[in-house]
A and B are shown apart, each in its own frame.
Chain A
Amino acid sequence: MDSKKISVRNVTKIFGKSKKALQLLQEGEPKQSILKKTGATVGVNQATFDVEAGEIFVIMGLSGSGKSTLVRMLNRLIDPTDGEVLIDGIDIVKMKKEMLRDVRRQKISMVFQKFALLPHRTVLENTEYGLEVQGVPKETRIEKAMTALKLVGLEGYEFQFPKQLSGGMQQRVGLARALANDADILLMDEAFSALDPLIRKDMQDELLELQSNMKKTIVFITHDLDEALRIGDRIALMKDGSIVQIGTPEEILMNPSNDYVERFVEDVDLSKVLTAGHVMKRAEAVSVEKGPRVALQMMKDLGISSIYVVDRKKQLLGAITASDAKEAMDRNKGIIDILQAGVSTVTPDTLLTDLFEKVSIATIPVAVVDHKQRLNGILVRGAVIGALAGNNDSINHFEQAQVETAVDQEDKEVKSHGTMVPQNPNS
């Protein structure tokens, strides 16, 4: 079997008299004229997409775009008018009630916008609910519910009632309830939309962290583009019941498929979306075994006054300046003697908004290093500003090009190709 956890094929939902409306819809009639002709409202129009196992698939759209209807058709809280919804390759649309119930119990969990907790039950009893209806023995379900509560950080609150908790904590209960029955698929319907911005961001972070351990298949509904870009592996953008574009956050931002998407994304605060990895330029670096003469030559060729120094494993050691190199050359010293350690660095996934300060006070371009301290690239102020201005040339697209790691100059003749243009081929 392939990795497609959920396959949605031409799923359509029409509210009202559907037969005629469905026919018109399939003939390509627009939503408005169908409403005029038949009085039926098109909720979702022939949506088709796949969700891979282990990914966070975000469905985004403004209110009334059909996203909540669409997600409810994935577990048939709303019955589709037409189309197929395959969960693990099995169509649930044609399923009998009893089988559907089993799917809901074992394969799909859901988190709701307004939490939808049971007010007469404690946090623990709420978390147990999914297991309880399956007839799981009391001890087992308490154990599993406690594990889930621990995961969402609600240990110690298990005997409180939902009303006694803040919104953020209530939604953690909602999340714990969904996690408790170990379903592979998590449907999250505007799960964080009712929370205030700071709590929302915390919850997003926690969801991402949980996801990095659990690898659930998550379908996340939101109307908030920033949220979609933050947590989505892929995003489907909906308008008037139709999916207008599906792609990675970057694809959506950089190549909007039509005017609607473009208008939607134009107000995005790029500094909260783009990372150091997106805007870094190829770093020229000199190996520590080389002499100051080579380093000086490189700097001269590149037209720069300082250069980063790496070891054999391309780990960043520090930087040297041209004047130091010249002096070292005159006095027959090695690079190691004039090395300035403790240069400021950032990781490739640092958001631009978090690195402005470092970039603004640094005397030499800030180094981008990965978790093994290997030099990935450098941040040049002009490129950072260019990226913020939406200049596509200033942004690295990871799909085709991985920015070259620090070049080992051993065999290459240094050429003056400048540091401003990203180099394509991965070495």
Chain B
Amino acid sequence: MSTHLLIMKKAQVKMGENIAVLLLFTVLLVLGIIFYVQYQRGALRDELREQRLKDAIQISQRIAYLPEVQCSEDAIQKENCYDGVKIEKATPILKANKNYYYGILGYSKVEIELLYPPSDAKTILFYDNKKPGTVSEEMVQAPIAVYLPNEDRYVFAVLKVVAYG
């Protein structure tokens, strides 16, 4: 009888051991899955952020070559030159033709902040087309020189592009 009892106790201990191992394994597995999911979320967020940054950079490069912005002399476009008068005049046109400019500038906001000399300081909201239900946005800022052809001089400015995602 006592041998039988001993065997029973041994079996129970063994079963207890196996259950503990299985529980530990399950806990480790669940922790591993949680860790992996968190990591994937973070990686996805980073990827989205990087994509928004790339979009913002691409848009800022496209703006530099827009005829609505580029300086010109005798109908010849000048590279790396932003015409302040054109920018002011084009702003309402872009607003009225958002659908057309969406094809070039997408869901983004473009501002040109004139900084120096102080008498010229102001911010021009050149284009604004926010994506409905935006979940992320990234901004790129680049110093530029804006040319005022009526005064034949340059103003120090910053081009700010926000890409929506």
Q: Indicate, yes or no, whether A interacts with B.
A: no
